[in-house]
Structure 1
């Protein structure tokens, strides 16, 4: 018979293991010595120790599921409880019990972690839904569309919630995206309709512009082109594939007209510049008539100059006031000389002037007598009043005398 602290082999070859509940039969050994029998079953015990150690390591360091861990513990426990090994089986049961506690603790940790992750995912998805619903009313079509696509990618990266919660949030999220897409589609459909209307309007404007390109009614046509440009701007933009071509045709038609007008105006400007030179020479000749000493000769000379002036034609608009002003100055001097001559040779006007002067002189003399009389009587107030009246009459008299002098009298 052979034995060690945890087991023995009796004379019949039966192997026993010692436990707290007494000896338990491990098995029967007939193939060799009792020592070999104990060594064999001790190796089986060491195998269990190794397996339990590996399982402990897996539970602590890997993401082994609780279900698989508990199945492995159960399998090892069956082997320990079967007493097919020689060693401290009670110590193995203690380790297995602690493993169960560890698996339970890891299960709770994972449950708490999943709950936390689920809560975080819920908050994250609710935030995505809130942002999507806000974006649903945006008119920033490109930016909002890109942001919504990014939100979808973010959503896909988040853990799923319970079916009911996840479905409800996804429904709101999807509805917000659909609402935005619907509004964007309506917007661009309306925009397409506007651009189509703009295209039709601009084609009409182009047709009119091309029809006017050969017009020689410079003023009216230029004004119409300005109106057409205003209508073009008010029409809005056509589709991109039409806008540039329509604009090139519209501008091309105007360029043809304005190039032709520019050529004509250049010729006209050259002619008007020459006209200005001629009129400046005539104005200089007219100015030599001043001052007028011989009215008859000056009148004849000015008439001849004016006939030549009228025959010359237009001058540049910005130079017209100055050169015409020089002729008008001579013409006004001529008119003033004629008026002065008429006054000198008009007997009725002279008689009226003399009569008025006599009346004013008589009134002034009468006032002077009244002033002297008032002062003699000591009535200074009346004298002062009469003096003010005399000042007014004297001013009229001076004016009448000046007019009378113009008649040479």
Structure 2
């Protein structure tokens, strides 16, 4: 028979471990000497010591979940309770008890941290919702639109709340964005209506201008043409495809009349040559506005130049196409800059891009909810699969958001 402070082997080969409750059978050993039996079960004890030590370090130094930690503790406790090792098993049980307390303490600390994080996220999202609802009433289409897009990015970076709270706040946030988009769409629809009205007005002006083109009542007809020009300017711009055609017809009708009048007033050639010199100076002044870098300033400057241009009067007929062509080239460049600005803020294209972005955002939110549910249910495989799908949808959403940003405010 052989023994040590924590165990012994009797004459039948039965191995015992000493505990506070008395001796417990560890196992039976028939393959060698009693000392070898004790050494074998002592090594098993040392193995338990090592495993418990490793688990203690993992609990202290890693983000091991409470669930996984408790499972590992119970696994080791079962081995200790089954008494298949020779050593101070009570000490190991006490270490496991302390480890349970440590895990519970960490669980409560993490719970408190999550609660703080959730409260901070709730306050942040409430602030985002309040700002979005304020922006929904803004008429600063570009600035407000850009800010709303920035708020979306900020929202996506915040943690999710409980489903009910998060859904309620998101509903308010989304409603504010939708309200702004609807108002902006209505605004640009109104601009479209104004352009249509301008087209109808200019068609009427063109019809009258063409009817007057054959008149020989030089004074009255010239005065009426000036009135028609003032009405033309007051009417605003029509749609791009109609504006050039209407303008060419309008100017063409005036040209017919004024060319005829020029033939009658040939004696005014000297005055017209002086007009040509002045218009060449104005054309040169207008050409300095190109290329257009400040649309508003260029438009105002060209309008002022054009008013002086119109006040000068006619130039010799053979010089008119050249000098007016120079001015028209400047005017066309400014118009093209205006059209580029209009295209960049086209509400229909923006609406399509916003619609696609909204659909992708909904899909991303849904996938995130499914991932959370899968993880909560412990279905890591499903969560991993959904996470890969989320990465693809998120990439599409990022691309759609980038495209939407190109439209500006």
TM superposition score category, shorter chain reference:
0.5 to 0.7
Mapped partners of 1:22, 1:233: distance in 2:
110
Report the aligned-residue RMSD: 2.4
Q: How does 1:283-322 map to 2 (within 5 A)?
A: none
Task: Tell me what 1:186 maps to.
Answer: 186
Against the structure 1 CA distance between its residues 237 and 34, is the aligned structure 2 distance closer, same or farther, given a 3 Å change threshold?
A: same
- How far apart are 1:215 and its partner, in Å? 4.3
- How far apart are 1:143 and its partner, in Å? 2.9
TM-score by length of 2: 0.60
Q: How does 1:382-401 map to 2 (within 5 A)?
A: none
- How far apart are 1:248 and its partner, in Å? 4.2
Structure 2: gaps of 5 or more residues = 272-409
Against the structure 1 CA distance between its residues 147 and 69, is the aligned structure 2 distance closer, same or farther, given a 3 Å change threshold?
A: same
Mapped partners of 2:258, 2:94: distance in 1:
107
Task: Tell me what 1:57 maps to.
Answer: 57
Task: Tell me what 2:138 maps to.
Answer: 138
Mapped partners of 2:57, 2:242: distance in 1:
74
1:85 matches 2:85: yes
Q: How does 1:271-286 map to 2 (within 5 A)?
A: none
TM-score by length of 1: 0.60
- How far apart are 1:259 and its partner, in Å? 5.2
| Partner deviation per Cα, 1:203-262 (whole Å, 9 max, x = no partner) | 222333344445444322332222112212221222234334433443444455445545
3-state SS of paired residue (2:15) = strand
Task: Tell me what 1:161 maps to.
Answer: 161
- How far apart are 1:131 and its partner, in Å? 0.9
| Partner deviation per Cα, 1:346-378 (whole Å, 9 max, x = no partner) | xxxxxxxxxxxxxxxxxxxxxxxxxxxxxxxxx
3-state SS of paired residue (2:237) = coil
Q: How does 1:224-235 map to 2 (within 5 A)?
A: 224-235=224-235
Task: Tell me what 1:342 maps to.
Answer: none
Q: How does 1:340-359 map to 2 (within 5 A)?
A: none
The structure with the larger Rg is: 1
Task: Tell me what 2:175 maps to.
Answer: 175
Mapped partners of 2:259, 2:6: distance in 1:
120
- How far apart are 1:266 and its partner, in Å? 5.0
| Partner deviation per Cα, 1:1-43 (whole Å, 9 max, x = no partner) | 2223322212111112222333222111112221221222122
Task: Tell me what 1:124 maps to.
Answer: 124
Mapped partners of 2:51, 2:218: distance in 1:
107
Against the structure 1 CA distance between its residues 116 and 254, is the aligned structure 2 distance closer, same or farther, given a 3 Å change threshold?
A: farther
Against the structure 1 CA distance between its residues 78 and 182, is the aligned structure 2 distance closer, same or farther, given a 3 Å change threshold?
A: same
Q: How many residues align?
A: 271
Against the structure 1 CA distance between its residues 75 and 233, is the aligned structure 2 distance closer, same or farther, given a 3 Å change threshold?
A: same
Mapped partners of 1:179, 1:42: distance in 2:
75
Task: Tell me what 2:68 maps to.
Answer: 68
- Divergent runs of 4+, >6 A: none
Against the structure 1 CA distance between its residues 132 and 241, is the aligned structure 2 distance closer, same or farther, given a 3 Å change threshold?
A: farther
- How far apart are 1:165 and its partner, in Å? 1.9
Mapped partners of 2:175, 2:82: distance in 1:
62
| Partner deviation per Cα, 1:82-109 (whole Å, 9 max, x = no partner) | 1111122222222212211221121112
| Partner deviation per Cα, 1:327-359 (whole Å, 9 max, x = no partner) | xxxxxxxxxxxxxxxxxxxxxxxxxxxxxxxxx
Mapped partners of 1:248, 1:53: distance in 2:
92
3-state SS of paired residue (1:86) = coil
Task: Tell me what 2:105 maps to.
Answer: 105
Mapped partners of 1:58, 1:255: distance in 2:
92
